[in-house]
Chain A
């Protein structure tokens, strides 16, 4: 088997597994371009060249945190396509890095498609929950999404590394601009669904002002999520200690007081009318 085909298969499978994030703590290793460079370098006989190419790409993505799992760019895809170029062709590390960045953005689309398709499996898992079929649920959470991931991710890397980067470029050009843009817009809008469902689940309309406080604290003062969490926790405790909450029994007496009050005022009103 020639090295090009071998690399194409290995990188394709790698992208499938790393992109699926199977075994959560494996991903800092498997998605790292530096580690990818080291292993691909071992395969082609020059681990130092590989790890240096990987390190150059790693720098681009250093310090990027994926809040809520939303990667702004896919460094694994970037590494898996750019590093083989360095190892098997005359491409310089610099050129490979510039190729890597737009490729990384393509990876975000793939991830969004995956999370879009995965909604089907949660629906199916609900059905299995009705039947009490725990193995069915487990399969919906593992085997099926992994299968979809294989179909979605393997071909991209395999084709790119076997037939070259030119093909990827022409594929990207073939997709109309408005569809690509529409998909980007959708990526920005879809997290809304998760938030709206959580708010439905919390289910207390009287807490809505807190949603606005949280939203505008971040919008006006660019707070980090951690900073927001500190404020949120403080507000929650403040309300609790100031006695804003009462246990159930007190709630009932409050209600009684309130109804008494209304009755009183009604009586007053009637009295006034009588006079």
Chain B
């Protein structure tokens, strides 16, 4: 396709909103241990990417793969990431020199913070308040609480739609500025640093690996896990992440194979009593 043709491709408000509703419907349906919401992200972008890259199959395939990678966030606050990514794909399709890594780094760098914000504000705060009110109303014999919960669901839907549009509008603007000022490298590196940091923080909260091994030496109980906790807390989850990272990166073990290995290790470990 010629550059002049490409520059005429534009997304309109309808494209942005329909991408949002596809994301809204599918975000969690296909959640998997391998990609989490990655498949939903790619699937929601399908129609728009087809519009942007439609005549160039290689570009389309590349873009689809780019959006099918691992992604995990709080979907409604994370909509702002989808909006900005949409703006970036539009720029890229129009022929701007936007490296694919920029888009990927942008997504991975922001998904953790948006998840924290979303989980804290929505699930942690507003939702809990709504439920608490509904419970106290129910205890007084009123069914109004059920409707309050429905209202909360509707509120979050519109919040997500708003953030998606905000991300698309502002993302596009700020990305052009970034490209012109040459600051994009800084953004990538900042996002990568934040991403790496958040992977550590999330690993610490979400991965649970402990051992029940204990001996009885001369009447004194020796609990292996206590010893581990004394030396370095969370050493087992840490070793697990590093081993899996090592296996994926240097031994080139595929994710599916890695999952089978984990299954066997967990079941065997449980059978002989070391996990």
Contacts and interface: CB of A to CB of B under 8 A. Distances in A.
Interface stretch (A101-109, A132-140, A157-165): A132-140
Interface stretch (B7-15, B37-45, B219-227): B37-45
B30 A141 contact: yes
Contacts of A259: none
Interface string B116-160: 110110011001101110110011010101100110111011001
Given A116-B32, A195-B241, A210-B197, A225 B145 contact: no
Interface string A1-44: 00000000000000000001111111111001011011100000
A197 B266 contact: no
A239 B196 CA distance: 14
A185 B275 contact: yes
B270 A65 contact: no
Assign chain B's interface to a size class. 35 or more
B139 A186 contact: no
B4 interface: no
Contact of B270 (A29, A182, A202, A229): A182
A58 B24 CA distance: 25
Interface of B: 22-36, 38-40, 42-44, 46-47, 49-50, 57, 60-61, 64-65, 68-70, 72, 75-76, 104-105, 108, 112-113, 115-117, 119-120, 123-124, 127-128, 130-132, 134-135, 138-139, 141, 143, 145-146, 149-150, 152-154, 156-157, 160, 182, 185-186, 189-209, 233-234, 237-238, 240-241, 244-245, 248-249, 255-256, 258-259, 262-263, 266-271, 275
29 contacts: A20-B29, A34-B131, A34-B135, A34-B145, A34-B146, A55-B139, A62-B135, A69-B72, A117-B32, A118-B33, A121-B39, A129-B42, A132-B61, A134-B64, A137-B43, A137-B68, A178-B270, A178-B271, A190-B33, A190-B262, A192-B207, A195-B207, A197-B248, A198-B195, A202-B108, A214-B199, A214-B200, A215-B234, A224-B120
Interface of A: 20-29, 32, 34-35, 37-39, 47-48, 51-52, 54-55, 58-59, 62-63, 65-70, 112, 114-119, 121-123, 125-126, 129-132, 134-135, 137-138, 140-142, 144-146, 149, 178-179, 181-183, 185-202, 204, 207-208, 210-220, 223-226, 228-229, 231-233, 235-237, 239-240, 245, 247-248
